[in-house]
Structure 1
Amino acid sequence: MTLPVRRRPGSLPERPFSGFGWGEPVAAEFDELFERMNRLLEGAATAPAALAWSPAADMRETDNAYVIEAELPGIKRDDIDIEMSERELRITGEYQERAREGTVRRSTRRGGRFEYRALLPADLSPDEVSATLHDGVLTVTVPKAQATKPRHIEITES
């Protein structure tokens, strides 16, 4: 399926690079792909979701629950919000930078709003979700419903 290509004057060279011996058709396809990617990235940069960062997190499944561990160092418990809908877990909040003296010469810490979303399988107990924050790691435990727990079935002789 081909889509129309919108070209802006001066955005790309008049003649695509064809030094790889692929010829004009392949170079034109790459030209079109790069243009589409640029438009996509320009649109994403202005979206509100682009302003939020996502913390590093692990999700694991036990026999009784799903456990999500998210790294949120330096973030206070009151600055974190956890919401659970039918199947979606959403962790949001904001890292408040502390006041500093002097001029910051280099900073690699993330700041501002953050958001983590996880879509969990069905048959959960959303009313029994629990969360703890210890040493900068937020642990959210989402119990499974009783019907989804695996059980061992004994085989008897007939």
Structure 2
Amino acid sequence: MTAPARHHAAGPPAAGFGELENLRTRVDELLHAAVPGTGFPGFGTAEPWAPPADVEEVEDAYLIELELPGVDKGRITVEVSDGEFHVRGGAEEKRRTGTVRRHTRRIGRFDYRTTLPPDSDAEHIGAELAHGILTVNVPRTEAGTGTGEAQRIGITD
């Protein structure tokens, strides 16, 4: 919903840009103040959102990195079941003492799922949360391993 930050190489913004930026800021404020259940994901509704994620294949593993700034590891659940990787949890709004001028971080329930490749070793997955990034290491094996039952993965610091 929110446009990415804009960077200008040099000089002032183009004519009229300031007015558009002010309008966008006001719309953001209105959406964040929306009544729960109005249909804007991540703005007080029950609809979960998916955190930004990267999946990288390295020599002996798959690395999955999810951006979860400010989320405590106790509010994150990582599970693997039937070849599906699943992360869910909740991001709470930060307690503030001042006037919020812009709020673009998502809050509320989040849910991320992806299918693991067949050569994944689901029995030896590790997860670490550091600096707002959840990094999950999924080892690769020639045969692939895993059970059909849901397996919870512990998160280290």
Query: Structure 1 stretches (4+) deviating beyond 4 angstroms?
Result: none
| Uncovered stretches (5+) of structure 2, i.e. residues with no partner | 1-38, 145-157
Q: Which runs of 5+ in 1 are unaligned?
A: 1-44, 149-158
The answer on 1:86 being equivalent to 2:82 is: yes
User: How high is the TM-score relative to the length of structure 2?
Assistant: 0.58
The structure with more strand, counted as a fraction of residues: 2
Q: Give % identity.
A: 45
Alpha-carbon distance in structure 1 between the residues aligned to 2:46 and 2:57: 29
Distance in 2, Cα, partners of 1:86 & 1:124: 11
Pairing 1:36-115 to 2, within 5 Å after superposition: 51-115=47-111
Per-residue CA deviation, residues 68-127 of structure 1 (Å, 9 max, x unaligned), is 011111111111110111211111110012333355454222100111111121132111
Alpha carbons of structure 1 residues 67 and 95: separation in structure 2 relative to 1, 3 Å: same
Larger radius of gyration: 1
Preserved contact between residue 55 and residue 72 of structure 1 (Cα < 8 Å): yes
Q: What CA RMSD, in Å, does the superposition of the two structures yield over aligned residues?
A: 2.4
Match of 1:77, as an amino acid?
Answer: K
Distance in 2 between residues matched to 1:67 and 1:73, nearest whole Å: 18
The residue that corresponds to 2:115 in the other structure is: 119
Letter in 2 for 1:85: S
TM-score normalized with structure 1 length: 0.57
Whichever structure has more helix as a proportion of its residues is 1
Q: How many residues align?
A: 103
Residue 129 (structure 1) aligned to one of 104, 125, 130:
125
1:19-76 deviation per Cα after TM superposition (whole angstroms, max 9, x unaligned)? xxxxxxxxxxxxxxxxxxxxxxxxxx59xx9711111110011221111011111111
SS of equivalent residue, structure 1 residue 73: coil
* Secondary structure of the corresponding residue to residue 93 of structure 2: coil
| Secondary structure in 1 matching 2:97 | coil
Cα distance 1:141–1:54, how it changes in 2: closer, same or farther (>3 A)?
same
CA distance in 1, matches of 2:94, 2:105: 12
